Structure 1
Amino acid sequence: MELRYLKYFVAVAETKHFTRAAERLGIAQPPLSQQIKKLEHEVGAPLFNRLTRGVELTPAGETLYPHAVRILSSVDEALSKVQQVARGEINKIKLGFATSTGMLEKVLTLVHRFQSRHPDIQIIPSEVPMPQLVDNLLDKNVDIAFLRLPCYASEKLEKWELFDDPFVAVLPESNPLSHHHQLSLHQLKDQKLVVFPRETGPGLFDALHQALDNFDIKPQSNISAPQLRATVSMALAGIGIALVPQSLTEHLSGQSKIIPVSDMPLSSRVVLSWNKTSLSEPVRQFIALTKSYGIA
């Protein structure tokens, strides 16, 4: 049995349509139908019921499908490992950081612990916005990465949550609201809010603006920081109030006020993420350490 037969079979099973499966595979529909018929002849049973508007798996097809998925996944994993060896990457980890995770104490402590246990493994770091980081993981240009959720397209990746990161308000001591021990979103309605641009994290940006919109809060579009981390510095300069995940306030000085927002419905989550088809042994070791290291 040829591997391409299984690849074609999985595509048809997942799209439930020969034409859509052909488009996904980048081939014409008639040859695809012919290859499926050859596979059915080889296994000795029909794999699909042909319907008016698509197909459905037969009992034989339902039996074959999970095995076909596992076989193709194993082949992809083996090929990825061979390519890693060929590129000399077997003792390296390309570790990505979203721009809002590269300075977090819990994240850096985890990286330090791994390096202490595995001094022979070289870590090659990179820091980019979340959309680019997800693309790098999917394209296997990065092995593992620290992401901040919510993040679009991350559902295609494996993830392990490190900790929940609630939003807080950051403001200078000179702000009239700085004497409060807790704020509500209603108190922020008429305040200038410093926001980060959507391209640095579309999922987080949309979730934050939806939460604010529910309270009829409209941040001014002309008060924008170049990235999430920079909103804190702009707030401390008196430009406005920053609403950021609490972990971004770890290294602030005494000139700032960090105040919980009692009714903020949104909370960010910091996760370790990876592409399951690209797992070298060092990457597996990093994931295993992360899962055993309770930092939530």
Structure 2
Amino acid sequence: MEFRYLKYFVAVAQTRHFTRAAEQLGIAQPPLSQQIKKLEHELDVDLFKRLSRGVELTQAGEVFYADAVNILADVERAKAKVRQIARGEHTEVRIGFATSTSTCIQVLERMGRLQQEKINLKTAELPMSELAAQLTNKQLDIAIMRLPCYASESFERRLLFDDPFVAVIPTDHALAQFKRIQMKQLREQKILLFPRETGPALFDGMNTLFADAGIRLDPHFAAPQLRTMIAMAQAGLGIAIVPYSLAEHLDNSVVVASIEDIKLTSRIVVAWEASNLNKHVLKVVTQLSQNDD
């Protein structure tokens, strides 16, 4: 379908008249009528009822009109945005946060660096899979993501910081007396985890890690998110193995112990599409990834 067909169709639908639409478009009426007939033939449906004093939309035409108007508006917005970017006028940067990164102190401190920049930040909190999809579709400019993550492998990425795993242990548990533990001490314990669909790469890494250490995971102790695992540990339902940034400020219902021989580390990164034309994206990436002295 040629793009101009949509413009012609909308003009006729709005004026309800071929001649007036042709005048509005700056073309002759006969070619306009022919183009509309070609569009109807391509769609295999009548879009207009031809009347003696004009036209009316058919039911199919009304449905197509709503979509056509939205498509034309999206194209105009895209054109305006590209022109703004070319002139250096586009200052909005859309940042998405993985659910497990949005409240990390180190992430928030790095976001604070952007307050002095004349950049309009628009933020959202989304699951990892949705973050990746919105980066790909240009609905987001930047994402703060947690690795490992299969969906992030096609993006440009910069490391913000490593986030080692720790054990969140209920205070009435036998292991609560230790500030440091080893993987073997987690054998025969109720280990809280999340379903694979929540984070496939992280789940696979942890599953392999536990299997190598002889730790059996019980699927009945699955939580939907990393944060929920902590709440379950606080309720005494088991031991949660989570990144340290999520366990920095917990109450005395649990003890946070480091795991000396754990071979998996989570990493927090800033990710973006290499094809993104917004010049402020790299400025934000640079500010976020700058290490403190």
Common fold: TM-score over 0.5? yes
Query: What's the CA shift for 1:98?
Result: 0.8
Distance in 2, matches of 1:151 and 1:83, equals 34
Name the counterpart of 1:98.
98
Aligned-pair identity in percent equals: 41
What is the CA distance between 1:273 and its match in structure 2?
0.6
What TM-score results when the alignment is normalised by the length of structure 2? 0.69
Aligned ranges 1:227-238 → 2 under 5 Å: 227-238=225-236
Tell me, in whole angstroms, the C-alpha distance in 1 between the residues paired with 2:207 and 2:83.
42
* Residue 132 of structure 2 is aligned to residue 134 of structure 1: yes
Separation in 1, partners of 2:99, 2:127: 6
Match of 1:172 in 2: 170
CA contact (8 A) 1:166 1:246 kept: yes
What residue in structure 2 maps to residue 272 of structure 1? 270
* Residues 218-257 of structure 1 aligned to structure 2 (within 5 Å): 218-257=216-255
Task: Measure, in 1, the Cα distance between the counterparts of 2:184 and 2:291.
Answer: 38
- Could you list the per-position Cα deviations for residues 139-194 of structure 1 after superposition, in whole angstroms to 9, with x for gaps in the alignment? 11110011111100322101110111111100121111100121111111101011
Q: 1:213 to 1:290 in 2, by over 3 A?
A: same
1:263 corresponds, among 253, 261, 274, to: 261
Q: Aligned partners of 1:212, 1:162: CA distance in 2, in Å?
A: 26
Cα distance in 2 between the residues matched to 1:293 and 1:90 = 27
Change (3 A) 1:79 1:173: same
Q: Distance in 2 between matches of 1:262 and 1:80?
A: 54
RMSD: 2.3
C-alpha displacement at 1:134, in angstroms?
A: 1.2
**Matches of residues 175-190 of structure 1 in structure 2 within 5 Å?**
175-190=173-188
Q: In the alignment, is the contact (CA less than 8 A) between 2:184 and 2:213 conserved in 1?
A: yes
Q: Runs of 4+ in structure 1 displaced over 2 angstroms?
A: 78-81, 83-86, 290-295
- Larger Cα-atom Rg: 2
Aligned residues between the structures: 215
- Partner of 1:122 in structure 2? 120
Aligned pairs (5 A) from 1:19-58: none
Paired with 2:280 and 2:242, the residues of 1 have a C-alpha distance of 33
Shift of 1:81: 6.2
Q: State the match for 2:282 in structure 1.
A: 284
Work out the CA distance in 2 between the residues paired with 1:110 and 1:147.
Answer: 14
* Segment of structure 1 superposing worse, 141-150 or 245-254: 245-254
What secondary structure does 1:272 align onto?
strand
Q: Give the letter aligned to residue 257 of structure 1.
A: V
- Runs (5+) with no aligned partner, structure 2: 1-77
CA offsets 1:237-269 (integer angstroms, 9 cap, x no match): 100000011111122123320001112111111
- Preserved contact between residue 186 and residue 215 of structure 1 (Cα < 8 Å): yes
Report the more deviating stretch, 279-288 or 137-146. 279-288
Indicate the residue corresponding to 1:25 in structure 2. none
Give distance in 2, aligned partners of 1:133 and 1:197.
18
* Equivalent pair of 2:85/2:277 in contact (CA under 8 Å): no
Partner of 1:107: 107
Q: CA shift at 1:80, angstroms?
A: 11
Work out whether residues 171 and 256 of structure 1, in 8 Å CA contact, stay in contact via their aligned partners in 2: yes
Structure 2: distance between partners of 1:286 and 1:184? 39
2:169 counterpart letter in structure 1: L
| TM-score, with length taken from structure 1 | 0.68
What secondary structure does 1:90 align onto? coil
Q: Quick one: structure 1 residues 214 and 109, their matched pair in 2 at CA, closer, same or farther if it must change by over 3 Å?
A: same
